[in-house]
Amino acid sequence: MGIDRNSMRNVVIIVLVLMTIGTTNGLTMNYYMFSCPLLDMVVKNYVNSALNSDPTLAAALLRMHFHDCWIEGCDGSVLLDSTKDNTAEKDSPANLSLRGYELIDDIKEALEERCPGVVSCADIVAMAARDAVFFAGGPYFEIGKGRKDGRRSKIEDTINLPSPRFNSSDLIKQFGQRGFTVQDLVALSGGHTLGAARCVTFKDRIMNNADPTTIDADFSRNLVKTCRGGDNSRQTFDSTTNTFDNDYFVSLQRKMGLLTSDQTLFASPLTRPIVNDYAMNTAMFFLHFQQALIKMSLMESSDSNAPREVRQNCRKVN
């Protein structure tokens, strides 16, 4: 008996098929399987212990991944420090509340000890965001790896980030241009289940008598109080700010969305039904969120000839 040539061939085909499952944009689930087998464990341990001492970092890590991907693809550009000839993305006012860089540095350092020169900073950011969502109570999912780090990070590119003052048509348009459906837009906005925003991003909603059709009166009075502390005073997006849940969507139904770009999702007939679905069905939100986040994590630079590398230090090009 034994294995004949035909069944051997079938085994080989099955193995090849398995290896290509989850391959998108050149990324694979098991990209570092041999070159850095402990990668997943290292990132998870660092993210977990960082969140234990500072749960607000979950929002920061998710936001960092979003900012990274949105500007010229997920290439670690958000991590680069400014140099004397170049002002980097991270020094844009739009970035004012980005945090978590030290954690990424720590993870990179730990990985350089185990598998030097192998794991890109862009992959670390993507994995840290994924793990942050999970440790905050959200879904767990696999993501492709094999991103490379870019060498460009320019303050002027950050004008392409969605504005907190966008209405639903602006949002649908900008997300649509980048390949996201209306469902992806609403699901990704649900990332605001974590974190807070500064007064300067929402105070226009409460000045000159808040419009009661778009904002709850008590909520509005609370925001006025918060903003007495100045433009940098912070207000959480929902009442469970460090927990990844669907409370954000329930808040929108109550006209307690923080930013114009949040509450508008309940105002538009194109997005309101999706908000209502997620407010009722956490499992649906989680599923759609992970699908949209995976899509986001595959965003690539519009310049396919842009130089790519695995950075030694996430803050500096090699």
Ligand X SMILES: *[C@@H]1O[C@H](CO)[C@@H](O)[C@H](O)[C@H]1NC(C)=O
Output the six-digit token pair for 277. Answer: 């679905």
| 90 lies in the binding site for ligand X (CB under 6 A) | yes
- Token pair 């207000």: residue: 235
Shortest spacing between CB 314 and ligand X, in angstroms: 13
Task: Choose, from 65, 67, 192, 288, the residue flagged as catalytic.
Answer: 67
Residues, the chain: 318
Q: List the one residue from 12, 14, 96, 280 that touches ligand X (CB under 6 A).
A: 96
**Distance of alpha carbon 187 from alpha carbon 86, whole angstroms:** 35
* Span of 10-18, 28-36, 95-103, 240-248 interacting with ligand X by CB under 6 A: 95-103
| 82 lies in the binding site for ligand X (CB under 6 A) | no
| 86 lies in the binding site for ligand X (CB under 6 A) | no
Q: List the one residue from 93, 177, 228, 305 that touches ligand X (CB under 6 A).
A: 93
**What 3-state DSSP class applies to 236?**
strand
DSSP H or E run through 150: strand 149-150
| 56 lies in the binding site for ligand X (CB under 6 A) | no
For residue 288, indicate whether it is catalytic. Answer: no
Fill in the amino acid letter for 188: L
Residue nearest to ligand X (CB): 167
Q: Which is closer to ligand X, CB of 104 or CB of 279?
A: 104
90 CB-near residues (< 8 Å, 6+ apart): 78, 79, 80, 81, 82, 98, 101, 153
Interface mask toward ligand X for 126-165; x: CB under 6 A: ----------------------------------------
Shortest spacing between CB 82 and ligand X, in angstroms: 9
| 169 lies in the binding site for ligand X (CB under 6 A) | yes
225 CB-near residues (< 8 Å, 6+ apart): none
Shortest spacing between CB 171 and ligand X, in angstroms: 9
Q: How many contiguous H segments (helices) and E segments (strands) does the chain have?
A: 12, 4
| 98 lies in the binding site for ligand X (CB under 6 A) | yes
DSSP alpha helix (H) spans, the chain = 5-20, 39-53, 57-70, 101-114, 121-135, 168-177, 182-189, 217-227, 247-253, 260-267, 272-280, 282-296
Q: List the one residue from 112, 170, 277, 309 that touches ligand X (CB under 6 A).
A: 170
Shortest spacing between CB 212 and ligand X, in angstroms: 18
| 167 lies in the binding site for ligand X (CB under 6 A) | yes
Shortest spacing between CB 126 and ligand X, in angstroms: 19
Residues in contact with ligand X, counted by CB under 6 A, come to a total of: 10
Pairing of strands 308-309, 196-198: unpaired
**Distance of alpha carbon 64 from alpha carbon 125, whole angstroms:** 7
Which residues are known to be catalytic? 67
Interface residue list for ligand X (CB under 6 A):
90-91, 93, 95-96, 98-99, 167, 169-170
